[in-house]
Amino acid sequence: MISKFKEIYLYREMIASLVRKDLRGRYKGSVLGFFWTFLNPLMQLLVYSLVFSIIVRVEVEKYYLFLFVALIPWIFFSSALTSGSGVILNQKDMVKKIYFPREVLPIAHALTNFINMLFSFIVVFIVILISGVGINFIALLYLPLIMLIEFTLVLGITFLTSSITVYMRDLEHIMTILNMLWMYLTPILYSITMIPEVYLPYIQLNPMTAVIVAYRDILYYAQVPHIQTLLSAVIMAVVVLVVGYLVFTKIQRYFAEEL
C-alpha cells in the first residue's frame, strides 16, 4: 500500500502532463478557447435562474447566487460521473501496451476538473461581489477544506466509475441518467429546508448533500458551516474514496485483458 503511494508519487510528472494536456487540449481549435471554462457555467446559471426565479419562482432571495455557489461544485462532481467513467477506456492503447500505475488516470482526471472548478471560482467571486452579499473571511477559511473534501469524494467516485466501465460498457450511458437524477436529489436548485422531513434522512445519505450545504453556508449565507455538516461530509467522502480505491485496485489487474 505504502509502496503504491510512493510509486504514484514517482509518476507525478505523468499526472501533471496529463492534466496540462487535458486543460490545454480541451478547447483547442475553438474560437473562445479557454474562455469557455467561464462561459459554460455562466450559461447554465442563466438558464436555471431564468427558469427558477421567473417561471417556477422559488422563494429565495438572490436566487442566482444561491444557485451559482452550488452549481459550480456540482459541475465538478458530475465530471466524476460522466467523463470520469471513460478515463480508462479512452486510454485503452496506453493501458494495453505499457505499464504505469493505473491510478494515475483517475487522479489526473479528478485534478483537471478540480482545477477547472478553481478557475470557475474566479467568476463565483465576481458574482458575489456584484450581488453585494459580502464575504465572511472567517467562513472563507473553510472553503479550501470543503474543496478538499469534495476532491476526495470525486476521486473515489472516479475510481469506481472508471474501473467498472471497463467491464460493463453500459455504465457510461447509465451514468448520464444517474447524473441527472443525482442532481435533482441534491439540494442545488432548492434549499435543504424545502425537503419534507420524512425524506430528509435519505437526502442526507447523499454524500453531496453535506458538501453543497457547506459551500452554500460559506459563500451564500456567509457563515461558518456547522461542524456536523463538515463531519458527515468528511466521513462519507473518505468512505467513498476507500471503497473506490479498493474496487479499483482489485479489478485493475485485468484491465489490459478486458480492453
Partner 1 sequence: MNAIIVENLHKKFKVFYDKGQTFKEKLLFRNRNYYENRWVLQGISFDVLKGEAVGLIGENGSGKSTMLKLLTRIIYPEQGKIVMNGRVSSLIELGAGFHPDMSGRENIYTNASIFGLSRKEIDARIAEVIEFSELGEFIDTPVRTYSSGMYMRLAFSVAINVDADILLIDEILAVGDASFQAKCFNKLREIKRKGTTVVIVSHALGQIEQFCDRAIWIDHGVIVAQGTPREVIPQYLNFMGKKYDKTPEPAKSNDGELRVGNRDIEIVEVRMLNDGKESYNFMAGSRVEIEISYKVNKISEGSIFGIGIFRNDGVHCYGTNTFIDAISTDELAKQGKVRFVVEQFNLLPSEYTLDVAIHTEDGFFFDAIDKVKKFSVYSNIGDIGVTRLDHLWHFESDK
Q: Give the residues lining the site for partner 1 (CB under 8 A).
A: 7, 10-14, 16-17, 21, 25, 28, 93-100, 168-171, 174, 253-254, 256-257
* Cβ nearer to partner 1, comparing 34 with 38: 34
State the nearest-atom distance from the C-beta of 148 to partner 1, in Å. Answer: 24
State the nearest-atom distance from the C-beta of 169 to partner 1, in Å. Answer: 5
State the nearest-atom distance from the C-beta of 104 to partner 1, in Å. Answer: 9
State the nearest-atom distance from the C-beta of 15 to partner 1, in Å. Answer: 8
Which residue pairs, CB below 8 angstroms and at least 24 apart, start in 47-55?
48/189, 52/189
* Cβ nearer to partner 1, comparing 16 with 200: 16
* Cβ nearer to partner 1, comparing 13 with 61: 13
Cell of 135: 464575504
State the nearest-atom distance from the C-beta of 20 to partner 1, in Å. Answer: 9
Cell of 193: 429546508
State the nearest-atom distance from the C-beta of 256 to partner 1, in Å. Answer: 5
* Cβ nearer to partner 1, comparing 5 with 254: 254
* Cβ nearer to partner 1, comparing 1 with 227: 1
Cell of 196: 419534507
* Cβ nearer to partner 1, comparing 125 with 254: 254
Calculate the dihedral angle through the C-alpha atoms of 218, 221, 222, 225, rounding to the nearest 10 degrees: -40
